[in-house]
Amino acid sequence: TNEATVELCSVTVDCTVASRFAHTVMTSVAVNKVNSSQEIFFEVELPKTAFITNFSMEIEGQVYVGEVKEKEKAKKQYEKAVSSGQTAGLVKASGRKMEKFSVSVNIAAQSNVTFILTYEELLQRKLGQYEILTRVKPKSLVQKFQIVTNIYEPQGLSYVDAHATFLSNELLPLVEKTVSDKKAHISFSPTVEQQRKCPGCDGTLIDGDFIIKYDVNRVKGLGDIQIVNGYFVHFFAPPDLPRVPKNVVFVIDRSGSMSGIKMQQTRQALLEILKDLDEEDHFAIIQFDSDIESWKESLTKATKENVAAGMDYAGNIKDRGATNINDGVLRGVNMLIQDRQEKRLPERSADMIILLTDGMPNHGESNITKIQENVRSAIGGNMSLFCLGFGDDVDYSFLDVMSKQNKGLARRIFEASDATLQLQGFYQEVSSPLLLEVDLHYPDNAVDFLTTNHFSQLFNGSEIVVAGRLLDNGVENFLVEVFGQGFEEDFKVQGQASAVDWNEMYPDEEYIFGDFTERLWAYLTIQQLLEKSKSGPSDEKSNATAKALDMSLQYSFVTPLTSMVVTKPETEDGPDSPLIADKLTEEQRQLADKKQLYTGLINQYVRPVQTAYAASPTYFVDGD
């Protein structure tokens, strides 16, 4: 807002989590204090894993509500608005975890405006915890500032931790946390005086991330199944399972574009990762540019001596040449296949390839579709491929599709000083498989519209979630079976799922948000359909896209296939104009990050320090 001509009456963030499904409502009320109309901005950041579900503005008693529309239709409306010179609101990428939603409206003199943004997400268990991240940047002091989070977990809470990046010793006691067995209440509500940076000044201390981390009690055997309002959700992450040994081939890109800091961070991360290998694991290191070079011709048991020798080798990887991803990965695949055939690897163990590259194959096979085909057919469903896409130029969707086609995951590694930690973090997530080929069975005559119920691995610290619709809304229980391959024996459990009575469990609470199990199911289904629309067989792709679009519209989720359209009020300057909120894809975020990285470099550059010139790009034309 402009100086003190706008008063922020209140900012409230109200988050309710029921069985990992988080529903957040951000409300801001502002008053235009001057005697003329002026533009007021509402800008909030939300997790990129969240879907916006609603947005409204109340101006002079009139409420303008957002409507989720098919993206193409909304785009047409948007284009029309732009061509007639009107403005449109957009969602933009903001850092690694968040995206920014921003709108502005013209407010009449001495009147107020209320903005309400609602978004929902299924919290993912990573490294043994769920995280609720709320970014608050009110820019000025707020009469009533409040963050309230209520967590309802029928499984019981094992711990809840709340902290914020802006908490000083004075603000710390203001975080109130009440935790009982199945419920947690966390609130933070500083007064105007407590928000102040210093006595008498207008600056606010409230600027940063408010983070809540928690975990639930792990349920042995079958896991936790909840049946609510005709839908069920099954959370499976049993405790105390021994880890399955792994056979991991690290395929490392050492091409010219990895030169400098990227290569250095890769070496550092590899050294740390190798150090963490378990003695029961087997490992191999392959480095590639236009040539493929492997440390040893087969996988090596991770004894202390072998790990030390591997670290010696990894510490000497140097950049050179072009990028032959195809042959690098295939060498790794063949090595695993051959070692399996020659029975050099434990029978019950997980085979995985971890590819680290900054992309852009340009030697050997450089057609990415062909590489995907080659890798898929060589792997033949027998191992997992995890891809780490390093830097801003990497073709992330190529790696994303390739890993999903091969029972794996891709992750972007951002070029920054903490890239080593990002690499290690990803490795930790996938380094401890507990079960392989996990199947979750439900009776066909009781449930349908199941989300994915087969998983190649269950990793330590993560959680498998399956949801579905009950055929008979009155079903109170049904038989559930889980199969998987464990370390020494098969994992096989069966049991009865039974309905949870939320009213009994939380007698003092009002209706939390009744349809959350259905919305959780819808969220999960849409996410999986969106993945299938990118990496599934071609005949399934268009079907998956169409279904995902239908469901996004039905449940009012702003996904990459839909947009939210809000019609701005008419102003003196012109007629109504639509505001459009989109969901960014990872590729769009990458483009934005690239721009930010560039901005960072340029910012260094424009400082009046002569030496800074050496660290920034220059584009020029001059005489020969």
Partner 1 sequence: PHFMIELPDREDALCFNINDKPGTIFNLVRDPTSGILVNGQTIGDKMIPPDGHVNTYFCRFGIVHQTLGVRLEVSTQDISVFQDNKWVKLQWSETASLKGPNVDLLLTKDRSLTVTLKDSVKFVILLHKVWKKHPYHRDYLGFYTLDSHLLSPVVHGLLGQFYHGIAFEVTDLRPGEVPEKPDATMYVKERQLNVTRGWQRDFRKDVKNGENVPCWFIHSNGTGLIDGNVTDYIVSGLF
User: Within a 10 A sphere around the Cβ of 218, how many other Cβ atoms?
Assistant: 19
Please, which residue, 259 or 554, has the CB nearer to partner 1? 259
* Residues whose CB is less than 8 angstroms from the CB of residue 578 and which lie 6 or more positions away in sequence, other chains included: 74, 77, 78, 81, 86, 88, 565, 566, 567, 568
Least separation, in Å, of the C-beta of 419 and partner 1?
A: 14
Reference 123, options 43, 208, 212; nearest CA is: 212
Give Dmax over CA atoms of the chain in angstroms. 84
Least separation, in Å, of the C-beta of 600 and partner 1?
A: 9
Least separation, in Å, of the C-beta of 505 and partner 1?
A: 50
Please, which residue, 474 or 623, has the CB nearer to partner 1? 623
Q: How far is CA 621 from CA 98, 599, 605, 606, 624, in A?
A: 38, 21, 19, 19, 9
Cα gap 74→565, rounded to integer Å: 7
Which H, E and C letters describe 258-288, residue by residue?
Answer: HCCHHHHHHHHHHHHHHHCCCCCCEEEEEEE
Least separation, in Å, of the C-beta of 474 and partner 1?
A: 54
Least separation, in Å, of the C-beta of 263 and partner 1?
A: 12
Least separation, in Å, of the C-beta of 392 and partner 1?
A: 7
Report residue 103 as tokens: 């709108």
Least separation, in Å, of the C-beta of 43 and partner 1?
A: 17
Please, which residue, 81 or 122, has the CB nearer to partner 1? 81
Least separation, in Å, of the C-beta of 618 and partner 1?
A: 4
Q: What is the dihedral of CA 132, 133, 139, 140, to 10 degrees?
A: 30
Least separation, in Å, of the C-beta of 293 and partner 1?
A: 15
Q: List residues binding partner 1 (CB under 8 A).
A: 255-257, 259-260, 289-290, 320-323, 360, 362-363, 366, 392-393, 591, 594-595, 598-599, 601-603, 605-606, 614-624
Please, which residue, 172 or 261, has the CB nearer to partner 1? 261
| Contacts of 341-348 spanning 24+ positions with Cβ under 8 A | 342/298, 344/282, 344/298, 344/299, 345/247, 345/282, 345/299, 346/245, 346/280, 346/282, 348/244, 348/245, 348/485, 348/486, 348/487, 348/488
Q: How far is CA 54 from CA 69, 458, 476, 507, 585, in A?
A: 12, 34, 32, 29, 19
Please, which residue, 173 or 260, has the CB nearer to partner 1? 260
Report residue 421 as tokens: 């930690």
